[in-house]
Amino acid sequence: MGWDFETRAVHGGLHPERNAGATVTPIYATGAFEFADAEGIEDAFAGRSGAHIYSRISNPTVGSFEERLCELEQGLGAVATSSGMAAVLSAVLALAGAGDVVAVSRSLFSGTLALFDSLLARLGIRPAFFSVDDEQELDDVLAAQPRLVFVEAIGNPRLDVADVPALAARAHAAGVPVVLDATLTTPWIATGKSLGADIVVHSTTKYITGGGTAVGGVIVDTGQFGWGAATFEPIVEAARKYGGRFAFLATLRKTVLQNTGACASPFSAFLQSGGLETLALRMERHCANALALSLALDARGDGTVVNYPGLPGSPWHGTARKLYGEWYGGLLTIKVGSRDRAFEVINRLSLAKRLANLGDARTLVIHPASTMYRDCTGEQREHAGVSDDLIRISVGIESARDIVADFRNALDSA
């Protein structure tokens, strides 16, 4: 199919002939699916048919969303989950077990950091941290033979930009797959496949849903890693049963998702599918508005420190421009001098909403140090770029003039 991204986002992965001519896949609100005979259900459990058995494993509404997002990522297959955190956890559990090492970027969203540093460590999966701009650190952790390398395309909230193709080349030379959290870029800015990543995870709660109406996640296999050469036993077993190409996806769905129950709900998948149709329009506006706000605040000359990869003064501007062209995402941060002033600025905003999310159609703000990173160590906050005077801004799709005016007024009066 030779359609552009925008066209595929609207029309791809839909099969009206399967759904009474409906141009939107209906919500299949059912826990399980009936079979005509015992042989049919046996074939389904044996993997000889693609029939739906139980919505914890697969569901037509969820499957449609998976197909649509996979097509936008130009991947081999996708598995939707109940949240972005469930997507990260599921991807790791499909590739690593007790006693294994996983290489992880130090610059991480606080929930992901806690997952690797606390919960997975308790399960015996040991994180080896590295900085995305330190090649020697990456080589050192690769020498420990990790099961995977995990990195965010754009760090949240540090906004450092990983040179994913260069990182992937080093990881692949060591025989290690790269798992890329592309929540902040989405496949509209760049597909994980084009960057050289092997697995892409998204918190679909964010830009993909777009309106803050659903929580979800997704994992996409880009089809580039040779799973037949993997040594992790669940992958090896899946390769024997389903072939090396589909070993990761089979392990993910049949070993992890089926047994943890971290599945997406049909209703959430329905809402997220609707979000895909306007993703290109919204991402263009998010990026344009974020750049406009960052330029306006950077030009104030009042000591406000603006961090956005689209600014020429950003240490990651060159990498971002090389990988993503003129689009730098919808997230930026500002430092305003002190914790008290950060609170005052946040409280004086009238358009922006104060809540713990990003990627909404609305402009959102939060004080990371007192919220998401309140339980992190000083070193962890430093690696994430979090200081007491930092405000994270998820720029919405409102009028850029109104957004800029709101922040100017708040900063002037704080």
Report the DSSP pairing between strands 178-181 and 149-152.
Answer: parallel
**3-state SS string over 200-263?**
EEEECCCCCCCCCCCCCEEEEECCCCCHHHCCCHHHHHHHHHHCHHHHHHHHHHHHHHHHHCCE
Total length of the chain: 414
pLDDT in tens, 14-40: 888 888 888 889 999 999 999 999 999
pTM: 0.96
Structure tokens at 257: 């998702």
**Residue that the structure tokens 């606080």 belong to:** 110
pLDDT in tens, 270-296: 999 999 999 999 999 999 999 999 999
pLDDT in tens, 60-109: 999 999 999 999 999 999 999 999 999 999 999 999 999 999 999 999 99
Cα four-point dihedral sign 379, 385, 391, 395: negative
DSSP secondary structure string for all residues of 32-93:
B---SSHHHHHHHHHTSS----BTTT--HHHHHHHHHHHHHHT-SEEEEESSHHHHHHHHHH
